[in-house]
Amino acid sequence: MNRFMIFISKHIIPKGFSGMTLYPFIFLKREDLKGDPVLINHEKIHLKQQLELLIVFFYLFYFLEWFIKLLIYRNTSKAYSNLSFEREAYKNEHNLDYITTRKRWAFLSHL
Protein backbone atom coordinates (compact mmCIF):
# COMPACT_ATOMS: atom_id res chain seq x y z
CA MET A 1 0.00 0.00 0.00
CA ASN A 2 2.63 2.50 -1.07
CA ARG A 3 0.62 4.03 -3.89
CA PHE A 4 -0.37 7.20 -2.14
CA MET A 5 0.94 10.70 -1.74
CA ILE A 6 0.87 12.83 1.38
CA PHE A 7 0.13 16.55 1.16
CA ILE A 8 0.11 19.13 3.93
CA SER A 9 -2.80 21.55 3.87
CA LYS A 10 -4.38 23.13 6.91
CA HIS A 11 -7.10 24.58 4.66
CA ILE A 12 -8.47 21.31 3.22
CA ILE A 13 -8.77 19.47 6.54
CA PRO A 14 -12.03 20.20 8.38
CA LYS A 15 -11.78 21.76 11.84
CA GLY A 16 -11.21 19.16 14.53
CA PHE A 17 -9.49 16.66 12.21
CA SER A 18 -5.81 15.93 11.58
CA GLY A 19 -6.07 14.11 8.27
CA MET A 20 -8.30 13.21 5.38
CA THR A 21 -8.02 10.76 2.51
CA LEU A 22 -9.14 11.40 -1.05
CA TYR A 23 -7.72 8.52 -3.07
CA PRO A 24 -4.81 8.42 -3.82
CA PHE A 25 -3.95 11.35 -1.56
CA ILE A 26 -3.64 11.67 2.19
CA PHE A 27 -3.99 15.25 3.36
CA LEU A 28 -2.56 16.18 6.75
CA LYS A 29 -3.03 19.38 8.68
CA ARG A 30 0.64 19.69 9.69
CA GLU A 31 4.02 18.43 8.48
CA ASP A 32 4.87 16.74 11.80
CA LEU A 33 1.85 14.42 11.39
CA LYS A 34 3.74 12.54 8.66
CA GLY A 35 5.61 10.87 11.54
CA ASP A 36 2.42 9.64 13.26
CA PRO A 37 2.18 5.96 12.28
CA VAL A 38 -1.28 5.53 13.83
CA LEU A 39 -2.76 8.44 11.89
CA ILE A 40 -1.13 7.30 8.65
CA ASN A 41 -2.40 3.75 9.23
CA HIS A 42 -5.92 5.09 9.84
CA GLU A 43 -5.80 6.96 6.53
CA LYS A 44 -4.34 3.93 4.72
CA ILE A 45 -7.32 1.89 5.91
CA HIS A 46 -9.53 4.48 4.19
CA LEU A 47 -7.44 4.11 1.02
CA LYS A 48 -8.17 0.36 1.06
CA GLN A 49 -11.88 0.98 1.62
CA GLN A 50 -11.98 3.48 -1.22
CA LEU A 51 -10.23 1.10 -3.61
CA GLU A 52 -12.51 -1.83 -2.91
CA LEU A 53 -15.56 0.35 -3.54
CA LEU A 54 -14.05 1.77 -6.73
CA ILE A 55 -13.66 5.19 -5.10
CA VAL A 56 -16.93 6.72 -6.33
CA PHE A 57 -19.09 4.17 -4.53
CA PHE A 58 -17.09 4.73 -1.34
CA TYR A 59 -18.10 8.39 -1.31
CA LEU A 60 -21.71 7.62 -2.20
CA PHE A 61 -21.92 5.01 0.57
CA TYR A 62 -20.05 7.26 3.03
CA PHE A 63 -22.34 10.25 2.58
CA LEU A 64 -25.52 8.16 2.46
CA GLU A 65 -24.54 6.36 5.66
CA TRP A 66 -23.55 9.67 7.28
CA PHE A 67 -26.93 11.20 6.40
CA ILE A 68 -28.80 8.20 7.82
CA LYS A 69 -26.71 8.25 11.00
CA LEU A 70 -27.29 12.00 11.28
CA LEU A 71 -31.05 11.36 11.22
CA ILE A 72 -30.63 8.67 13.88
CA TYR A 73 -28.25 10.50 16.24
CA ARG A 74 -29.14 14.13 15.41
CA ASN A 75 -25.50 15.00 16.09
CA THR A 76 -22.77 15.37 13.44
CA SER A 77 -19.98 14.02 15.69
CA LYS A 78 -21.97 10.94 16.68
CA ALA A 79 -23.00 10.36 13.07
CA TYR A 80 -19.35 10.53 11.98
CA SER A 81 -18.01 8.29 14.75
CA ASN A 82 -20.66 5.65 13.99
CA LEU A 83 -19.90 5.35 10.28
CA SER A 84 -18.84 1.82 9.38
CA PHE A 85 -15.73 3.12 7.59
CA GLU A 86 -14.65 5.18 10.57
CA ARG A 87 -15.42 2.44 13.08
CA GLU A 88 -13.22 0.01 11.16
CA ALA A 89 -10.39 2.55 10.83
CA TYR A 90 -10.46 3.67 14.47
CA LYS A 91 -10.72 0.10 15.76
CA ASN A 92 -7.67 -1.01 13.77
CA GLU A 93 -5.49 2.11 13.49
CA HIS A 94 -3.07 0.89 16.18
CA ASN A 95 -2.55 -2.45 14.41
CA LEU A 96 0.11 -1.43 11.93
CA ASP A 97 -0.16 -4.83 10.19
CA TYR A 98 -3.91 -4.51 9.68
CA ILE A 99 -3.64 -3.46 6.03
CA THR A 100 -1.87 -6.73 5.18
CA THR A 101 -4.33 -8.94 7.09
CA ARG A 102 -7.55 -7.01 6.41
CA LYS A 103 -10.34 -9.02 4.83
CA ARG A 104 -12.19 -7.61 1.85
CA TRP A 105 -15.36 -5.65 2.74
CA ALA A 106 -14.30 -5.58 6.42
CA PHE A 107 -16.15 -2.30 6.97
CA LEU A 108 -19.47 -4.17 6.56
CA SER A 109 -18.98 -5.85 9.92
CA HIS A 110 -19.07 -2.37 11.48
CA LEU A 111 -22.46 -1.32 10.13
| Per-residue pLDDT tens digits for 39-70 | 999 999 999 999 999 999 999 999 999 999 99
Segments forming the whole domain that contains residue 39: 5-109
Q: How many domains, in total, are found in the chain?
A: 1
pLDDT at 2: 66
Rounded to the nearest 5 degrees, what angle is found at the Cα of 27, between the Cα atoms of 22 and 30? 170
pLDDT at 96: 98
Residue 43 CB contacts under 8 Å (≥ 6 apart), including other chains: 19, 20, 21, 26, 89
Count of residues in the chain: 111
